[in-house]
Structure 1
Amino acid sequence: MTDATSVSQPRRLSNADQNWYRFTRNPTALIGAGIVILCILAAIFAPFITPYPEHVGAVVDFRSRHLPPSADYWFGTDNVGRDIFSRTIFGMRISLLLAVVVLGIAVPVGTILGLVAGYFGGWVDIIIMRITDIALAIPALVMALAVAAVLSPDLINAMLAIAGLWWTWHARLIYAITRQLRSQEFVEAAETLGAGKMHILFREILPNCVSALAVKTSLDCGFVIIVGASLSFLGLGIQPPTPDLGTMVASGSDFLPDYWWESVLPGCAILFVALGFILLGDGLRDLFDVEEIR
């Protein structure tokens, strides 16, 4: 007779394995991740995959101006004869860099302020959250326009202008989660055992906020790219001849509808990149069972 204890039991999947399995069965998340990875790889290897990388700079070829999409110029050429496809791929670099820097500033600032306000409460809560409420009352795009108009329009100032108010959304999100978690048993147990405040904030509460932060950050990447393109469209972002998707849409709009590709195709690139991050965020929200994030 076979000993029951000797029968090998099936290996129990870890949480990471379960999450990966669920992620690979989520079409929305897979499509979003595929788009994001494709855009990142295209931006990294832009000098090697674009047919005319020299057209990124101040190149003029009036003999090739306003050419429609073709085998030689996949997205056509602009009003000075530069290849729009090459400039679009390099423009993705600017958009992705903008999102990384803005959220690299906004997420840590908002997370720390939300943790502190939610855990300590009292006058700390009042001061931090009232400042957050005031900042939330100002539309991010309006503030970005004001800052970019006062300062010289360039990439650095565009990043600072957008990051100046973007932290508020993350502060409000982490504040709400921390308020719920601070009365949980594992937090009370850590306090009873004499754990320090920093240990409780960053070792007990923060790990339970990671899933919501991942979803929010992914969704925000798409919106930051759109806001950055809006600034450039209005002439307050990246300045020519540096390729930027918003600037290319604005320049091409002067020649609509005859030369539609000069504006429409860079605009489709903005949509493509932003859609990838938004789909990825929706997929992560379903994966982590995170409630609706506004």
Structure 2
Amino acid sequence: MNAISRHTARGGPLRGLLGHPGFVVGAVVLLFWLACAIGGTALAPQDPYAVAPRAALLPPSADHWFGTDRLGRDVFSRVLAGARDILAVAPLATLLGTAVGTVLGLFAGYYRGAVDAILGRLIEVVLALPLVIVALFALSALGGDRLTVVVVIAAVFAPITARTVRAATGRERNLDYVAAAQLRGEHAGYIVFREILPNIAATVVVEAAVRLGYAIFTVATLSFLGFGTQPPSPDWGLTIAENYTSLAGGAWWTVAFAALATASLVIAVNLIADALGQDLR
């Protein structure tokens, strides 16, 4: 019986997770930003794209809760609408990277020998390289559109996930249920996907949650550097890039709220990942 099944037998994993204050706080914050991603433009009190040069760099007030940016756009409205871009890219990159990494890790951990050695060396090489630097080189060569950002982040994350899954698979491979499946004559694909994977599902879920936090930060960083989302998008990383020069004039609000939004989302996902790690493993 795998970890998730054991929790289900005790009344469901959600009941245990709701006992973690960090999970509850993280879930509330994440749900808020998901709501903004889905209906951010409709929820925004003003048009997040409307330019008003005469209202540029106004401080927070009753009319503009978070002030206005260098083009006179309402910062509060842009922060709400900006959740859409980051939550359209980061989860896709996480899912793709987790899927590829899980498959690689399963077969590396199951076969051992030459297959494990080759995949292990490949994983170590990728892990030795700085994530953002690798992404920047790849995006410079391939282009910086959203789809490319998703693929590049997934490609960087896959070896990290593979290492975790490989270790978990190696432990499971020595257990009796795997030996029984081999004696029945089951092929490797059946054993890794139908026998081993369900028993390490909790590990994969926790790893995906951790990767999502990194993906959000990475997407914001790449947007700041000019890759992925382009103006006039209210993307948080792009918002910081467009307005950071205004800090010299004291217009801190043009950058601070987008930075806080990014930080709150990353922290929320990390709180959820931490609770999952404690409850499922």
Q: Which category of TM-score, normalised to the shorter sequence, fits these structures? A: over 0.9
SS of 1:45's partner is helix
Deviation at 1:148, TM superposition (A): 2.1
Match of 1:6 in 2: none
Distance of 1:154 and 1:83 partners within structure 2: 26
Q: 2:208 aligns with which of 217, 221, 241?
A: 217
Match of 1:253 in 2: 244
Match of 2:261 in 1: 269
Alignment partner of 1:55 is 2:48: yes
Higher helix share: 2
- 1:105-124: CA deviations, max 9, x gaps? 11111000110111011211
Provide closer, same or farther for how the CA distance between residues 21 and 60 of structure 1 changes in structure 2, counting only shifts above 3 A: closer
Distance of 2:225 and 2:14 partners within structure 1: 42
Deviating beyond 3 angstroms after TM superposition, the runs of 4 or more aligned structure 1 residues are: none
Match of 1:4 in 2: none
Match of 2:196 in 1: 205
Distance of 2:10 and 2:135 partners within structure 1: 39
Is the CA contact 1:64–1:81 (under 8 Å) kept in the aligned structure 2?
yes
With the length of structure 2 as denominator, give the TM-score of the two structures: 0.92
Q: 1:117 aligns with which of 102, 108, 117?
A: 108
Alignment partner of 1:26 is 2:20: yes
Match of 2:3 in 1: none
Unpaired stretches in structure 2, ≥5 consecutive residues: 1-6
Look at both structures and tell me which one has the larger radius of gyration over its CA atoms: 1
Provide closer, same or farther for how the CA distance between residues 48 and 203 of structure 1 changes in structure 2, counting only shifts above 3 A: same
With the length of structure 1 as denominator, give the TM-score of the two structures: 0.88
Deviation at 1:16, TM superposition (A): 5.9
Deviation at 1:165, TM superposition (A): 1.2
Is the CA contact 1:252–1:260 (under 8 Å) kept in the aligned structure 2?
no
Q: Which one is further off, 148-157 or 225-234?
A: 148-157
Match of 1:78 in 2: 69
Match of 2:161 in 1: 170
What value does the CA root-mean-square deviation take over the aligned residues? 1.6
Is the CA contact 2:40–2:83 (under 8 Å) kept in the aligned structure 1?
no
Provide closer, same or farther for how the CA distance between residues 20 and 164 of structure 1 changes in structure 2, counting only shifts above 3 A: closer
Is the CA contact 2:41–2:48 (under 8 Å) kept in the aligned structure 1?
no
Provide closer, same or farther for how the CA distance between residues 16 and 170 of structure 1 changes in structure 2, counting only shifts above 3 A: farther
Distance of 1:284 and 1:224 partners within structure 2: 18
Alignment partner of 1:237 is 2:236: no
Counterpart residue identity of residue 260, structure 2 = C
Counting aligned pairs with the same residue, the percent is 34
Distance of 2:26 and 2:235 partners within structure 1: 22
SS of 1:242's partner is coil
Provide closer, same or farther for how the CA distance between residues 60 and 21 of structure 1 changes in structure 2, counting only shifts above 3 A: closer
Unpaired stretches in structure 1, ≥5 consecutive residues: 1-12, 290-294
Is the CA contact 1:43–1:93 (under 8 Å) kept in the aligned structure 2?
yes
Is the CA contact 1:91–1:244 (under 8 Å) kept in the aligned structure 2?
yes
Alignment partner of 1:155 is 2:146: yes
Counterpart residue identity of residue 271, structure 1 = A
Q: 1:226 aligns with which of 209, 217, 232?
A: 217
Distance of 1:260 and 1:151 partners within structure 2: 35
Match of 2:86 in 1: 95
SS of 2:231's partner is coil
